[in-house]
Amino acid sequence: MDRFDTALVLTRVLTSGVVMSIEKNDRELPGLERQLGKLSGRSAVVLTNSVTAAVHSALAGIGAGHGDVITAPPVPDDIRAFLAWLGVRTREDGEPGFTFVAVDPADLASLPDVLAGLPADRPVVLDLTGLGFGPAGAVLTDDSRVQAKAERLKIFGTFDLRTMWTQVESEPELVPGVQFNYRLSPLVAACLRMSLSSRPAPQPAGEPA
């Protein structure tokens, strides 16, 4: 990663004065959502402050909670431990309830192809921590219901960061039981945007990357 780009991006956001995720003038989180949507071809993106938060949000999105059984995709051991902590049991057979993709700088060029090749009928959990700006994750989905439920987990049941203090509940059935603050920092989001937009062009097949 070119450190100058990071410096420029962080200075830009600090100069704007908007570093709070629940600030209605924040442009970084919506910008990253749009970018990941475009990159993946999915219509909805839920940003989170870690990969485990993204896993939890995806499960909330598909309606899997304590006591439920799901088929988990291949995931690292700590994610498996996290599923057990949530009280979600896993089995090996059947179609996984979500797809799991960890992104490292070396994977950026091929990321659109990887995402395009995933089953469209289930959410994707994206681990963005490897890009180097601290814990970060995202849930990608085409299902607005999955998005709505996943989004609500991350900010104490509310459906929109920018109106969290004032909104009046319109869909009480979507309010999760346990609720967290899984909000991503706009400063981290800005760096992720830079990282994703400066990804190298994919190498033609047959040539070494």
Instruction: Please state at what angle helix 28-40 crosses helix 186-197, rounded to 10 degrees.
Output: 40
Q: Is 150 exposed, middle or buried (0-12, 13-18, 19+ CB in 10 A)?
A: buried
Determine, following the binding rule CB under 8 A, whether residue 18 of this chain makes contact with another protein: yes
Short-list 59, 51, 49, 28, CA closest to 141: 59
Is residue 69 involved in binding another protein (CB under 8 A)? no
Q: Does the footprint of another protein cover residue 204 (CB under 8 A)?
A: no
State the nearest-atom distance from the C-beta of 165 to another protein, in Å: 4
53 forms part of the interface with another protein (CB under 8 A): yes
- The number of residues that bind another protein (CB under 8 A) is 67
Residue in 149, 138, 100 with CA at minimum distance from that of residue 122? 100
The tokens for 142 are 């085409």
185 binds another protein (CB under 8 A): yes
Candidate list 40, 50, 141, 195; residue touching another protein; CB under 8 A? 50
What tokens appear for 143 in the block? Answer: 């299902």
Q: Which residues pair with 47 in a beta bridge?
A: 138
Find the binding residues for another protein in span 82-111 (CB under 8 A): 82-87
Instruction: Give the DSSP letter of residue 155.
Output: B
Residues 109-168 that bind another protein (CB under 8 A): 129, 132-136, 156-158, 164-168
83 vs 111, which CB is nearer to another protein? 83
Q: What value does the CA radius of gyration of the chain take, rounded to a whole number of Å?
A: 17
Smallest distance from another protein to CB 31, Å: 13
Nearest distance from residue 63's CB to another protein, in Å?
A: 9
Beta bridge partners of 181: 155
99 pairs with which residues across the strands?
124
> Which residues in this chain contact another protein in the complex, by CB under 8 A?
3, 6-7, 10-12, 14-22, 49-53, 64-68, 77-87, 129, 132-136, 156-158, 164-169, 172, 175-188, 191
